[in-house]
Copies of this chain bind each other. A is one copy, B any other.
Amino acid sequence: MQIAIVLYPGVTALDAIGPYEVLRMIPCSEIRFVSHNAGSIMTDSEVLVLGATHSYEQTPSPDIILVPGSAANTGMAMADKALISWLHRAHQSSQWTTSVCSGALVLAAAGILEGHSATTHWAAQDMLESLGATAQRDQRIVRSGKIITAAGVSAGIDLGLWLVGEICGRERAEVVQLLIEYDPQPPFTAGHPSKASKQVFETAKLEMFSRSQKPVQGVSV
């Protein structure tokens, strides 16, 4: 089972690394990090570099596609013709096509979410709706056929575990959950707009907007 995790400049690392750490424990799976070319990709912190292992061209028909999101560069990814046409083609033969956070907008730009229920980061739900998907604002993971979308950033871990359960069965998923000791105990309870105070929500909204104004420049490093 070949798993292709898309990397592009300005990607949010945890969107990709959360599900990677889970999906790589599917027995006999091969994880790839795909981009225009193999090599270093700068993330949205402009500090952390992740390595792409293969080009899109080298990866024509992965079994699982995962598209992570980005605070500022989702628009650039949506306008990236090579990425979008690869996604469009690879989706034809994939077993699962998945996204984390604003990665759903990239799927939408490839025409994959037209008429489908989907979710994304809370700050991107209106945009998702405007691109033809039916936004499920209160769901952490949404399934529509073979398309699975997850909410913001950390939701990719839940998506990964759910997917391992579907593919390998519950027992394997529980083994993976125990291996990564995923027994979350957040010290606060502000992880969703419905749970955060108005002030926390307004501050976070402003910060999302301000981060969205600063795309990471340069294709690769």
Q: Enumerate A170-209 residues with CB–CB distance to B below 8 Å.
A: 170-171, 173-175, 177-188, 190-193, 195-197, 199-201, 203-204, 207-208
Q: Which residues of the partner chain B approach A18 to less than 8 Å between Cβ atoms?
A: 14, 17-18
CA gap between A173 and B201 in the complex, in Å: 12
Give the Cβ gap from A178 to chain B, nearest Cβ, in Å: 4
This chain's copy number in the assembly: 2
In Å, the complex CA distance between A201 and B161 comes to 17
| A78 interface residue per 8 A CB criterion | no
8 Å CB contact of A184 from B17, B154, B162, B190: B154
Report the stretch among A47-55, A86-94, A107-115 that lies at the interface.
Answer: A47-55
- For the complex with contacts A21-B153, A154-B182, A178-B190, 17 further pairs of A-B residues with Cβ separation under 8 Å are A12-B21, A17-B17, A48-B53, A153-B180, A154-B181, A154-B184, A161-B186, A165-B187, A170-B188, A174-B197, A175-B200, A175-B207, A177-B191, A178-B204, A182-B186, A183-B186, A183-B192
